[in-house]
Amino acid sequence: MLNEKIICAGFGGQGVMSMGMLITYAGMLEGKQVSWLPSYGVEMRGGTANCNVIVAEDAIGAPTVSNDATTAMVMNLPSLKKFENDLLKGGKLFINSSLIDVKSSREDIDVYYIPANEIAVSIGSGKVANLVMLGAYVAATNVVSIDSVKKALRKVFGASKEKMMPLNEAALQRGCDLVG
């Protein structure tokens, strides 16, 4: 039974919160149980940011993901070090290889190396690196569909960002193509 527990992590400004929100919204649109929980605390500018997302069939208990993650998406090196060991055996780890030049030390999980920033820059803006990662995640897991994520883009970013949609969707697609 579906019980996907995700950690999205990076430094502030990399879009890790919205990456998690997009999965959450997409899951909601598909009628699944969803929750999103940000880390909140004594964070500082340029420090690390992360959120926990759960997409499940059954009602969600605690919305926290601790040492029971099924997926981790890490956008920078401190996040890899912090969360790599929170993945369950057989879990999926997505590493932003544009900014992280080390390999995962785990051998009991599936690791995907995604050059998210390079791809994002090549299609027009480094700002969509998070969506490249998200595209790869969707293609590798099928927890939510790419169509639902595209609908979620409009809900999360609002109508005023409509002009960004072609770039956003291109970023998602490039991420998908990398894995699928």
Q: Tell me the C-alpha distance between 12 and 46, whole Å.
A: 5
Of the candidate residues 44, 45, 46, 61, the single one contacting another protein (CB under 8 A):
61
**Options 25, 94, 112, 137; binder of another protein; rule CB under 8 A:** 25
The residue from 12, 30, 63, 151 that contacts another protein (CB under 8 A) is 63
**21 lies in the site for another protein, by CB under 8 A:** yes
Stretch of 53-61, 126-134, 140-148, 171-179 contacting another protein, by CB under 8 A: 53-61
Torsion of CA 41, 42, 44, 48, to 10 degrees: -40
CB distance 71 to 141 below 8 Å: yes
Residue 121 or 156 with smaller CB distance to another protein: 156
Using CB under 8 A, pick the residue from 36, 83, 112, 137 that binds another protein. 36
Q: Which residues pair with 113 in a beta bridge?
A: 95
Under rule CB under 8 A, which residues in 113-142 are in contact with another protein?
none
Site mask, another protein, residues 140-159, x = CB under 8 A?
A: ---------------x----
Q: How many CB atoms lie within 10 A of CB 67?
A: 9
- How big is the site for another protein, counted in residues (CB under 8 A)? 21
Which of 32, 174 has the CB closer to another protein? Answer: 32
* 152 conformational bin, left if phi > 0, alpha if psi -120 to 50, beta if neither: alpha
Task: Looking at 14-158, list the stretches that DSSP marks H as alpha helix, in order from N- to C-terminal side.
Answer: 16-29, 77-83, 116-123, 129-141, 146-157
Tell whether residue 19 is a contact of another protein (CB under 8 A). no
